[in-house]
Amino acid sequence: MPLHGAVYVNGRIASAEEAVIPVYDHGFLYGEGVYETLRTYNRVPFLLDRHVRRLRASAGHLQLAVPFSDDELAAWIEDTMAAAGPMREAYIRVLLTRGIGELTYDVRSTPVPSLVIIVKPLEEPPSRVLTDGIKVALVPILRNHPGSVNPVIKSNNLLNNALAMQEANRRGADEGLMCNYRGELSECSQANFFIVRSGAALTPRNEAGLLEGLTRNFLFEVGEEIGVEVRYETLFPADLQTADEAFITSTTRELSPVTRIDDKPVGNGKPGQVTRRLHEGYRRRAHALTQALVEGRLL
């Protein structure tokens, strides 16, 4: 399968098929690194400042230096987008690793971090996602204990997530929903999770051990704007039975309605009105914010 787009690796931009990083990079050897996934609206990276802030916070948990300014990263992203060629909207992934060094955990062997920026055409979810919804499987894979690899770190080490998603795929599902070590609902393998009950959108508390998704957080602003209550709640698998609606949130998938959990329908088995209103509000606000940046740039 041909690879698409362009990739920035430590100052050099190449096609996706030609881009390489040494095998002695500790991001490859040990999964030591952090990342962010962005998408564009109106060809503008959405919530870039918040993504960079979270990247720096994740790196801080690893005591990993971030050797560039926000403006430098933004410029390198623009350069990589230009090299990727014409596209309607872009998928952007920024990865920062411990760097290249000997086969040791000693950070003194890797004095210079590696930076990779992947840009390729954004693949929008198929139309069936909005019309029919998706199926989520409640998988037995537990979300990482915060005392081991804290989920608050957006780490390049995604084995926990991969195992959950692969189990969901084996069950014919589009996403895997995980619990934490206390048996509370936490998050999905690649998304945050919400249920809707009595008109309010409820998402697990941060204390459930999860990554604070930027789309998830942004939805609180959208809900306030359109008059839909969005709040944190301690949720358990039993709460899935009382949900009127459910949906997941992520940067690339925005809001995806969940209409089946395992073999049971959610609510009436169709995408719900609250989910639809939040999704419409999300898109409207995302386009308005990025369009304002475009117009400001032109001025």
Residue-wise pLDDT tens digits, 109-119: 999 999 999 99
Q: Is 108:144 a contact under the CB 8 Å cutoff?
A: no
Q: Does pLDDT of 215 surpass 60?
A: yes
Taking residues 72-101, report their average pLDDT.
97
Strands (E) across 98-145 are located at 114-121, 134-138
Question: Which domains are delineated in the chain?
Answer: 6-121 (3.30.470.10), 127-286 (3.20.10.10)
The pLDDT of residue 297 is: 56
Q: Is 217:282 a contact under the CB 8 Å cutoff?
A: no
| pLDDT tens-digit series, residues 127-172 | 999 999 999 999 999 999 999 999 999 999 999 999 999 999 999 9
Q: Which sign does the torsion angle of CA 231, 234, 238, 240 carry? A: positive
| pLDDT tens-digit series, residues 6-19 | 999 999 999 999 99
Q: Does pLDDT of 298 surpass 50?
A: no
Q: How confident is the model at residue 299 (pLDDT cuts 50, 70, 90)?
A: very low
| pLDDT tens-digit series, residues 140-149 | 999 999 999 9
Taking residues 161-185, report their average pLDDT.
98
pTM: 0.95
Q: Which sign does the torsion angle of CA 6, 7, 12, 14 carry? A: negative
The pLDDT of residue 39 is: 98
